[in-house]
């Protein structure tokens, strides 16, 4: 977060947004509307704008999706993507799926995972994409809350879905060509489906389209619902911030179960008619570099933890030809200046930090390719966005002072609602400010510097983890009476999940027991929510009257311990 880092100026070249200050003064979101076909036809559908219109405009033979996984490389053109999403949409319609139904997808990062999401949107239903690594409880919390009636998955992942506990779920479809006791096979059904008539269901800009569950500091994950209108901002940020152009090959490394993987892994690039790379499989430095070389990625959107992991394998870079890269972006957690310096050394390209949230639907504060970067800053508010640093009353603080990072209401991609939770939705706002929950300061030139969260939300490797969810799971373990969960600062992952637990009398602490508790969370909830550290305490700090666990004290103690460690660390 140092201000003494040198300012990094942009390289020369033509970019989609050349004059930030001038554009900021004049820009109105309405000016983007004529880009969309609904501006003339009044017929709205995100999937149509992402795929069908490009085919109608004569770009059917352009590559839309390039799937790469190890030695497998397959691609789909926009025509093929249209045909396949049309077919799936017809299938869903013939099975009775209607506008507004909640249809969840639980699929790997492969062609079908993307086709499924777009097909659900095409029929006007609300899609709920689930992250591939979710286990039973994480799936249950989301599908139950959302009253999902349909699930698109595969036979292997279906084993993790607690079907018996989901009363609203009446239809399950799998991508495998096989008989299944509780699910129907999509490839088999497609053989019987009539593809007559229009596949697209027209909707309104404010109709619900996608729901992402996201964690805060309290309670279960909340369903953030976005409407089709997000396309206005996703298209425009794809142009300005991702700087997408006709010949780009674009790779966003996030799974579409997270908002980055949908807003910027699907919608922003395809609204801009860009070729999208989908990389299957897990993170491995060699495979990632290979994927860039094999597909010729030009624009790459990833996250600080991934960059930090790649930094550990810097020596491998020389084995690959990565010269296609021209623009790199980052999101999800603070981008430390060391990573920017590494990017400059490794690729001779600046890494452009961007800030936004599940609730905001699209980028809001960014480093543009044409602007100076102040390492440690997330950048400036986009044209069309008013960012402020406010106090608890909604008054802006003095420039340079820390406060709550807030955005003036009214940007096109703002969430439509929190699913069935109006009170939670309202709690985001102070007057006409949307309050992010992040703490930050803004300098005289409008550059925003991130400080941390104003609540107990944990951000590990860019993934939001709610301490309450992890605590609830921990106390289901027979050995655990009480649990307090915090994010412990970590040089690689930003934060790691750390749990403090009190054991029941029947158990004594052992390495084996702690492993068992970790595994319990991992296989019941999700791997990324598993506490990487567990500490057994005699008792947890609590508020005197209500007896609530004071996570802040646990965190303060932990940070103090880390600092003490630093102080007494003797360099070798
Ligand atoms: C954090 C991800 C620092 C922040 C798109 C925010 C960041 C939360 C940055 C949203 C950044 C996101 N620098 N922190 N550039 N971007 N965050 O909903 O705390 O998964 O509130 O959205 O991630 O996480 P979410």
Q: Ligand 1 centroid vs 354 CA: distance in angstroms?
A: 9
Q: CB neighbours of 45 closer than 8 A, spacing ≥ 6?
A: 121, 122, 124, 200, 201, 202, 203, 228
Q: For all residues of the chain together, what is the average pLDDT?
A: 95
Inside any domain, residue 390: no
> Are 163 and 287 in a shared domain?
yes
Same domain, 249 and 353: yes
- Expressed as residue numbers, the domain containing 467 is 456-563
Cα atoms in the Cβ-side hemisphere of radius 13 Å centred on 341: 7
For ligand 1, whether the C-beta of 464 sits within 6 Å is: yes
Residue 451 lies in a domain: no
Residue whose CA is at the smallest distance from ligand 1 atom 24: 357
How many whole angstroms from 307 Cα to the centroid of ligand 1? 16
Residues 93 and 186 in one domain: yes
406 C-alpha to ligand 1 centroid (Å): 13
- Alpha carbon 352 to chain centroid, angstroms: 17
Q: Based on the domain organization, do 328 and 210 belong to the same domain?
A: yes
Does residue 365's CB lie within 6 angstroms of at least one atom of ligand 1?
no
Task: Confirm whether 553 is domain-assigned.
Answer: yes
Is 216 touching ligand 1 by the criterion CB < 6 Å?
no
The CATH number for 517's domain is: 3.30.300.30
Atom of ligand 1 at shortest range from CA of 464: 20
Instruction: Judge whether 179 lies within some domain.
Output: yes
Tell me how many domains the chain contains.
2
Q: How far apart are CA 41 and CA 56, in angstroms?
A: 14
Last residue of a domain, one of 384, 411, 433: 384
Kindly state whether residues 466 and 378 are assigned to the same domain.
no
- Asked if the structure places residue 435 within a domain, the reply is no
Is residue 458 very low, low, confident or very high in pLDDT (cuts 50, 70, 90)? Answer: very high
pLDDT at 68 over 50: yes
Place of tokens 């013939």: 94
Alpha helices in 97-153 (DSSP H): 111-122, 136-146
264 lines ligand 1 (CB under 6 A): no
| 27 and 141 co-located in one domain | yes
* CATH label of the domain that carries residue 71: 3.40.50.12780
Residue 2 in this model has a pLDDT that exceeds 60: no
Claim to verify: residue 329 and residue 242 sit in the same structural domain:
yes
Q: Predicted confidence band at 4 (pLDDT cuts at 50, 70, 90)?
A: low
Residue 368 maps to a domain: yes
- CB 528: neighbour CB atoms within 10 A? 18
Percent of the chain with pLDDT over 70: 98
Where among 356, 384, 412 does a domain terminate? 384
Q: What is the pLDDT of residue 386?
A: 98
Contacts of residue 423, Cβ cutoff 8 Å, sequence gap at least 6: none
Residues 229 and 351 in one domain: yes
pLDDT in tens, 142-177: 999 999 999 999 999 999 999 999 999 999 999 999
Q: What would the two tokens of residue 273 be?
A: 């008619």
Ligand 1 pocket member 213 (CB < 6 A):
no
Residues 374 and 462 placed together within one structural domain of the fold: no
- Do residues 160 and 43 both lie within one domain? yes
**Can you tell me which atom of ligand 1 is nearest the CA of 463?**
20
Asked whether the predicted pLDDT for residue 439 surpasses 70, the reply is yes
Q: How far is the CA of 366 from the centre of ligand 1 (A)?
A: 12
Confidence of residue 190 (pLDDT cuts 50, 70, 90): very high
Q: Is residue 442 part of a domain?
A: no
Angle at Cα 121 formed by Cα 118 and Cα 124, nearest 5°? 155
Q: Which of 347, 364, 384 is the last residue of a domain?
A: 384
- Whether 537 maps to a domain, the answer reads yes
Q: Which residues pair with 355 in a beta bridge?
A: 365
Q: Are residues 102 and 247 in the same domain?
A: yes
Task: Give pLDDT tens digits for 267-309.
Answer: 999 999 999 999 998 889 999 999 999 999 999 999 999 999 9
Give the gyration radius of the chain's Cα atoms.
24
Residue with tokens 């490394």: 253
pLDDT of residue 566: 54
Residues 6+ apart with CB under 8 A from 147: 102, 168
Q: Are residues 508 and 370 in the same domain?
A: no
Beta-strand relationship, 351-355 and 403-408? unpaired
pLDDT grade, residue 234 (50/70/90)? very high
Here the tokens at position 565 are 């460690």
- Residue 138 CB neighbour total at 10 angstroms: 23
Report pLDDT digits (tens) over 34-44. Answer: 999 999 999 99
Per DSSP, the chain holds a count of helices (H) and strands (E) of 19, 27
């Amino acid at each position: 977060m140092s201000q003494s880092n040198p300012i990094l100026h942009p390289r020369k070249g033509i970019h989609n947004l050349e004059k930030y200050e001038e554009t900021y003064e004049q820009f109105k979101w309405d000016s983007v509307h004529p880009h969309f076909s609904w501006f003339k036809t009044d017929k709205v559908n995100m999937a149509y704008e992402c795929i069908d219109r490009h085919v109608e405009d004569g770009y059917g033979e352009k590559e839309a999706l390039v799937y790469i996984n190890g030695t497998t490389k397959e691609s789909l053109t926009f025509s093929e993507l249209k045909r396949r999403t049309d077919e799936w949409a017809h299938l869903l319609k013939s099975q009775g799926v209607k506008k507004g139904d909640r249809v969840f997808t639980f699929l790997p990062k492969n062609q079908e995972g993307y086709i499924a999401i777009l097909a659900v949107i095409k029929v006007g239903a609300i899609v709920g994409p689930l992250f591939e690594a979710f286990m039973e409880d994480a799936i249950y919390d989301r599908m139950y809350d959302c009253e999902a009636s349909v699930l698109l998955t595969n036979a292997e992942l279906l084993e993790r879905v607690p079907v018996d506990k989901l009363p609203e779920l009446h239809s399950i479809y799998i991508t495998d060509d096989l008989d299944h006791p509780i699910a129907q096979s999509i490839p088999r059904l497609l053989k019987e489906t009539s593809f007559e008539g229009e596949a697209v269901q027209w909707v309104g800009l404010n109709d619900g389209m996608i729901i992402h569950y996201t964690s805060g500091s309290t309670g279960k994950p909340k369903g953030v619902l976005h409407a089709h209108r997000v396309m206005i901002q996703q298209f425009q940020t794809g142009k300005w911030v991702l700087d997408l152009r006709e010949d780009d090959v674009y790779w966003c490394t996030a799974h579409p179960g997270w908002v980055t993987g949908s807003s910027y892994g699907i919608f922003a690039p395809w609204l801009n008619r860009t070729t999208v790379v989908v990389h299957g499989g897990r993170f491995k430095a060699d495979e990632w570099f290979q994927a860039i070389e094999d597909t010729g990625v030009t624009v790459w959107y990833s996250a600080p933890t991934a960059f930090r992991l790649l930094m550990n394998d810097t020596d491998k870079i020389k084995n690959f030809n990565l010269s296609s890269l021209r623009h790199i972006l980052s999101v999800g957690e603070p981008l430390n200046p060391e990573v920017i310096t590494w990017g400059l050394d490794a690729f001779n390209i600046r890494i452009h930090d961007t800030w936004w949230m599940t609730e905001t639907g699209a980028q809001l504060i960014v480093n543009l390719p044409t602007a100076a970067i102040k390492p440690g800053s997330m950048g400036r508010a986009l044209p069309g966005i008013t960012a402020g640093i406010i106090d608890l009353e909604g008054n802006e603080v003095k420039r340079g002072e820390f406060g709550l990072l807030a955005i003036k209401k009214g940007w096109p991609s703002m969430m439509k609602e929190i699913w069935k939770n109006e009170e939670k939705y309202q709690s985001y706002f102070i007057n006409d400010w949307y309050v992010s929950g992040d703490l930050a300061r803004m300098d005289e030139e409008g550059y925003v510097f991130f400080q941390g969260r104003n609540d107990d939300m944990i951000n590990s490797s860019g993934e939001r983890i709610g301490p309450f969810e992890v605590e609830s799971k921990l106390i289901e373990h027979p050995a655990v009476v009480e649990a307090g969960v915090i994010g412990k600062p970590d040089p690689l992952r930003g934060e790691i999940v750390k749990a403090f637990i009190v054991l029941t009398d029947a158990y004594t602490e052992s390495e084996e027991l702690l492993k068992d508790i970790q595994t319990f969370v991992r296989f019941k909830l999700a791997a990324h929510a598993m506490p990487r550290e567990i500490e057994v305490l005699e008792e947890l700090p609590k508020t005197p009257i209500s007896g609530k666990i004071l996570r802040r004290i646990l965190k303060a103690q932990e940070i103090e311990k880390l600092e003490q460690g630093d102080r007494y660390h003797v360099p070798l």
